[in-house]
Amino acid sequence: MAGVRISGLHKHFAGVHAVRGIDLDIPDGEFTVLVGPSGCGKSTLLRTIAGLEDADAGTIEIGEQVVNAVRPRDRDVAMVFQDYALYPHMTVFGNISLSLRARGRPKAEIEARVRRVADLLGIVNLLGRYPRQLSGGQRQRVAIGRAIVRNPRVFLFDEPLSNLDAQLRDEMRSEIKRLHQDIATTMIYVTHDQIEAMTLADRIVLMRDGWIEQEGAPLDLYEQPATMFVAGFLGSPQMNFLRGRLLCSGEGAVVRFGEGETALALPPARRRPNMGDGAEVIVGLRPEHARRAAGTEPTPGAARIEATIELLQPTGSRSYATFRLAGQPVLAELQAHDVSRPGERIPIDLDLRRAAIFDPQSGKAL
Amino acid sequence: MAEAATRLLRGRPSAAVPRILCIGLFVIFVLVPLYWMVITSIKPTSDYLAIPPVWFPAEPTIVHYTAALFSYRGLDGLINSLVIASASTVLSTVLGTLMAYSMARFNTGGEHLAFWVLSQRFLPPVATALPLFLMFRSWHLYDTHVGLIIVYTVMTLPLSVWMMYAYFRQLPRSLEDAALVDGLSRWQALWMVAVPLAVPGIVAAAVFVFVAVWTEFFFALVLTSRHAFTLPTVFRAFLGFQGAQYGEACALATTSLVPSIVLGILVQRHLVRGLTLGALRG
Amino acid sequence: MTQYIGSGRVAPALDRRRQATLSAFAERHFRWLIALPAVGLILALSVYPLLFSLWVNFVNYDFDIPGHDFVGLQNFADVVSDPNARSALLVTALLSVVNVAIEFVLGLALALALIKTFRGRTLVMSILIVPLFISPVIVGQSWALFLERPFGPADYLLGEILGHPVTVSWLTESPWYYLSIIIADIWQWTPFMFVVLLAGLAAIPPHLYEVAELDALSARMTFLYITVPQLAPVILLAITFRLLDAVRLFDVIFMMTGGGPGAATYTVSYYLYQVGFQQFHLGVATAGSWIFLILLSIVIWVLVRRLLRAEKS
């Protein structure tokens, strides 16, 4: 078990500056997810930690040891690949035990360790089969088993669930989470799926174009996004982004949308010193913070508006309704029966206490 | 893939030396006899038997080339080869592409037809040369260009069929399907959609067929005489080397080599497909 | 297109219908129609001649003896009893196996050496594939010239390298003539093995090697457990193709040794050439070629069938 520390890491890859000066400190035993759109450098970063790629600049430390010059085989890390990378001509037992055989462990010990791992992953009955006889989910379990049996200091996962169908992915996600609780080893997990990131991570590292856009606990990133990119990436359906103009008067502030027909009062708590009067802003509001109004008065901090529902998308437990605010489309998360059909006009409370305010030029939160 | 291998061999500098040695030795092995042959073609006769051997003549000459081409009818052989190889290439490629399309898109003849065509590739020439020799004499095809052309077409059909078969199989059908839905006949879909898309494969197949015919010896030896003889058969005249025609022999060889090698280098990218008849993509 | 019957034209409607039925026919039977020319040509110039030669097997066909009388199995007996035929078969079998084996080993070594990119790799590849495009007669001639004294520099070079004079008659001295043929053959065909095996190596998923690296597998284990099993189908393909070509050895024999000295370097093809086209005992030669074909067919059946199966999976 060991923590991982990255300092000032740079990596050029196929002519692209894939990793631009990353600093990352991962404490021992933590589950860190590197997430971001494709091309953001997360896989490159992971492979550099494994030693499969060389860093161009910066240091990588595993357990207080600088490993830049250490060969992958000596770094004591294990990796699970997206395409499982199982040895096709060996049984499951052979696949899992190969690394132990390579290190010359005694046969009895190998047997015991493989069985223990197989038990943990529920694949004991598959030990005699070949990879081609297994389903995708089973193969991925074997790949994970192969990684676990070595007791490495760090586990690396490179988009392991991307090849699985949705239902299987949910199942495997829980398994991996449980695994981390059982083994409590440092895990670094790469994915482009924000749901995986949110559910699995102790800490999310959201990457973009080679640098870290924001890192922290999942809920922190969700509720306090540092930039529009972070706000838009996490959360499904995506946050609503509305253009408006901020007008301040004394203690209060109002955001005016469009030609002035709609103006919403900003709760005093959301007011920040760097918000200038007359500034163009983008208001970010998640669909779950636009609810059907209840009661005669809007909830404190919320603004009430009348909305004509244009589009209705029921999912069973809730319905997503689209309406317009000064011409801009807004997606609201309503209860299943709040609206029966498009065209209806209902009152909606927008909880502006939860809104994020962004500067349109920089994309940063204000 | 080579990148991954590069990474992983990084930490083993000791592996570099045997590698370089292996490559270097084989490159020398390939180049030396070729070099000797080419240099002999421009050596004056007096240098032939010199000891130590002359690696670069003080007075190079082209007299062997003129002798080979004209006194030994090398030029006639060259022209015949050109004509016959070109015609065979066209025929073989066209017929082969048609058949390959049928097999790839409609699974015509299934596994059995495919196997039968493939096994033709491994038929030793001597087996068909004997009866063809007899048949051609009675059909007046002996020592004719036409005779050789059709023999070579058949000889290279397995090559062009299988190369194009593999090629068509990995060409998505959707464009042809779209054409059919738009009202084109199958024939039109073939010529106006599939074939234009398959041009790189067709060109590669054509080059392999051409080289196969250009270098073929046995059928030419047996089925031609003074009229339709091809370039490889001309080398018979130099056997025995009693009259010391080393220079002429090498001059003709060098002449024959050039188009072969140029074509070979051009089609390098498709080399594995050609050599394995499309079984491997390379 | 209109048809003229007598002095007038056929009514256009009728003509169009005829055209329609023709193109409908063509459309329905498209797949057979386009395959027909190729199949027809193969039937005419490959199958038919073989059937014809089947008849020739059992008759007298000889430029010395007129007539085509039925002779039963005499042709076959003549072949089987000919010591040259037996030695040709032996020489062919031995040379083929040795050639293919050496080509495989060298080819694999080269492929392993060149799988890694390095500066100048493209140039090296271009040089290495040149022998594949050269006419085998030229290869034979080229090596004959290089090896044979007094013209070839081979003995001189060897003498310089080894430190003492070398006087080997590469084309006429036993057992050096076998070695000469082997050298010429591997010179030309090792690149075949090399290219095919290289393609096979390149197709191995890189993640397998990466996992092996992280698992700290030794180079030996990586080679045995990953490289070889993954390469197995390609190896089968390469050896099948090469072996079935190697048994036809003719051009190099023709140019280098002429089958000699005596009949020491007769291969099957060269023997049949001698009997059929030099001595014109065509019936006997045909019988010999059929024996050869049958032996070869067994090998083809086994190897090619297995190849096709492997390609399916």
Poorest-pLDDT segment among A107-111, A339-343, B28-32, C209-213: A339-343
- Predicted confidence (pLDDT) per residue in C27-52, tens digit: 888 889 999 999 999 999 999 999 99
Q: In terms of Cα–Cα distance, which of C290, C246, C285 is closest to C96? A: C246
Q: What is the pTM of this model?
A: 0.84
Q: Which of C209, C211, C230 to mutate to test the interface with A (most CBs of A within 10 A)?
A: C211
Describe the crossing of helices C176-202 and C136-147 by its angle, rounded to 10 degrees: 130
pLDDT band, residue C168 (cuts 50/70/90): confident
Q: Strands of A119-217 (E only): list them.
A: 154-158, 186-191, 203-208, 211-216
Q: Is residue B280 part of a domain?
A: no
Distance (Å, whole) CA B181 – CA A39 = 39
Poorest-pLDDT segment among A190-199, A292-301, B33-42, B201-210: A292-301
Greatest extent of chain A over all pairs of C-alpha atoms, in Å: 79
- In this structure, the answer to whether residues B33 and B72 fall within a common structural domain is no
- Does C313 have pLDDT greater than 60? no
Cβ-based burial of A250 (10 A; exposed 0-12, middle 13-18, buried ≥19): exposed
Residue ranges and CATH numbers for the domains of chain A are 4-226 (3.40.50.300), 240-358 (2.40.50.140)
Distance (Å, whole) CA C262 – CA C273 = 15
> Residue holding tokens 């394995």?
B276
User: Strands A356-358 and A345-351: what pairing?
Assistant: unpaired
- Predicted confidence (pLDDT) per residue in C135-146, tens digit: 999 999 999 989
- Does B11 have pLDDT greater than 50? no
Rounded to two decimals, the ipTM of the complex is 0.89
List, in sequence order, every residue forming a beta bridge with A311; answer none if it has no partner. A322
List, in sequence order, every residue forming a beta bridge with A61; answer none if it has no partner. A5, A66
Q: Closest to A73 (Cβ–Cβ): which among C208, C214, C229?
A: C214
User: Which two structure tokens, joined as six digits, stand for A134?
Assistant: 């297994």
Q: Do A72 and C214 touch (CB under 8 A)?
A: yes
Subunits next to C (3 or more Cβ pairs <8 Å) are: A, B
CA distance C103 to chain A (A): 27
Q: Closest to C214 (Cβ–Cβ): which among A79, A89, A90?
A: A79
Q: What is the DSSP letter of C154?
A: H
- What percentage of chain C carries pLDDT values higher than 70? 93
Please answer whether residues B215 and B197 qualify as being in contact, where contact means their C-beta atoms are separated by less than 8 angstroms. no
Residue in C closest to A154 by C-alpha: C214
- Does B10 have pLDDT greater than 90? no
Residue in C closest to B214 by C-alpha: C135
**What's the whole-number mean pLDDT along residues C149-170?**
83
* String of DSSP letters for C20-71: HHHHHHHHHTHHHHHHHHHHHHHIIIIIHHHHHHHHHHTB---SSS-S--B-
Q: Which residues contact A279 (CB under 8 A, 6 or more apart)?
A: A245, A246, A359
**What's the whole-number mean pLDDT along residues A168-183?**
91
Distance (Å, whole) CA C83 – CA A346 = 105
Q: Which residues contact A125 (CB under 8 A, 6 or more apart)?
A: none
CA distance C212 to chain A (A): 8
Q: Is residue B281 part of a domain?
A: no
- Give the Å distances, CA to CA, from A129 to A81, A93, A102, C230: 20, 8, 21, 18
Distance (Å, whole) CA A154 – CA A147 = 10
Q: Does residue C162 belong to the interface with chain A, where contact is any CB pair within 8 Å?
A: no
pLDDT band, residue B278 (cuts 50/70/90): confident
List, in sequence order, every residue forming a beta bridge with A79; answer none if it has no partner. A156
Poorest-pLDDT segment among A276-280, A333-337, A340-344, B21-25: A276-280
Q: In terms of Cα–Cα distance, which of A358, A272, A283 is closest to A325? A: A283
- In this structure, the answer to whether residues B50 and B71 fall within a common structural domain is no
pLDDT at C189: 96
**What's the whole-number mean pLDDT along residues C68-84?**
90
Q: Which of C43, C45, C158 to mutate to test the interface with B (most CBs of B within 10 A)?
A: C45
- Does A311 have pLDDT greater than 80? yes
Spans of all domains in chain C: 4-57, 74-312
Average pLDDT, chain A: 90
Q: Closest to B280 (Cβ–Cβ): which among C49, C234, C273?
A: C234
- In this structure, the answer to whether residues B39 and B144 fall within a common structural domain is no
Describe the crossing of helices B246-266 and C121-129 by its angle, rounded to 10 degrees: 130
pLDDT band, residue A362 (cuts 50/70/90): confident
Strand, helix or coil for residue A7:
strand
- In this structure, the answer to whether residues B270 and B160 fall within a common structural domain is yes
pLDDT band, residue B34 (cuts 50/70/90): very high
- In this structure, the answer to whether residues B126 and B241 fall within a common structural domain is yes
User: Strands C4-5 and C8-9: what pairing?
Assistant: antiparallel
Distance (Å, whole) CA B46 – CA A123 = 81
CA torsion sign, B12 to B18 to B22 to B27?
positive
- What percentage of chain C carries pLDDT values higher than 90? 54
Q: Do A52 and B7 touch (CB under 8 A)?
A: yes
**What's the whole-number mean pLDDT along residues C65-86?**
89
Distance (Å, whole) CA B188 – CA B191 = 5
Cα radius of gyration rounded to whole Å, chain C: 27
Distance (Å, whole) CA A50 – CA B4 = 13
Please answer whether residues B106 and C31 qualify as being in contact, where contact means their C-beta atoms are separated by less than 8 angstroms. yes
- Does A358 have pLDDT greater than 60? yes
Q: Of B42, B62, B82, which residue sits at a domain end?
A: B62
Give backbone dihedrals phi and psi of C160, rounded to 5 degrees, phi first.
Answer: -65, -45
- Predicted confidence (pLDDT) per residue in B107-152, tens digit: 888 888 988 898 888 889 999 999 999 999 989 999 999 999 999 9
- In this structure, the answer to whether residues B155 and B21 fall within a common structural domain is no
Poorest-pLDDT segment among A9-18, A105-114, A248-257: A248-257
Residue in B closest to A71 by C-alpha: B11
- Does B65 have pLDDT greater than 70? yes
Residues of A in contact with B7 (CB under 8 A): 52-54
- The CATH number of whichever domain residue B173 belongs to comes to 1.10.3720.10
Q: Do C135 and B232 touch (CB under 8 A)?
A: yes
pLDDT at C15: 61
List, in sequence order, every residue forming a beta bridge with A264; answer none if it has no partner. A255
- Predicted confidence (pLDDT) per residue in B192-210, tens digit: 889 999 999 999 999 999 9
- Does B12 have pLDDT greater than 80? no
User: Which two structure tokens, joined as six digits, stand for C308?
Assistant: 């096709």
Distance (Å, whole) CA A17 – CA A11 = 6
Q: In terms of Cα–Cα distance, which of B109, B108, B105 is closest to B176? A: B105
Distance (Å, whole) CA C53 – CA C292 = 13
Distance (Å, whole) CA A223 – CA A219 = 6
- In this structure, the answer to whether residues B242 and B130 fall within a common structural domain is yes
Q: Is residue B201 part of a domain?
A: yes
- In this structure, the answer to whether residues B53 and B32 fall within a common structural domain is yes
pLDDT at C14: 57
User: Which two structure tokens, joined as six digits, stand for C169?
Assistant: 């008659």
Q: Which of C29, C89, C141, C297 to mutate to test the interface with B (most CBs of B within 10 A)?
A: C141
Distance (Å, whole) CA C159 – CA B206 = 45
Interface A-C, measured as beta-carbon pairs within 8 A, has a size of: 56
pLDDT at C12: 55
Q: For the domain bounded by C74-312, which CATH number is listed? A: 1.10.3720.10
pLDDT at B9: 45
**What's the whole-number mean pLDDT along residues B232-242?**
81
What number of CA atoms fall less than 13 Å from residue B84's CA on the CB side? 33
Q: How many CB atoms lie within 10 A of CB B91?
A: 22
pLDDT at B243: 53
pLDDT band, residue C2 (cuts 50/70/90): very low
Q: Is residue B282 part of a domain?
A: no
Q: Closest to C34 (Cβ–Cβ): which among B101, B125, B238?
A: B101
pLDDT at B14: 54
Range of the domain at B88: 65-275
User: Which two structure tokens, joined as six digits, stand for C205?
Assistant: 């998923």
Q: Do C38 and B99 touch (CB under 8 A)?
A: yes
Poorest-pLDDT segment among A19-23, A267-271, C196-200, C274-278: A267-271
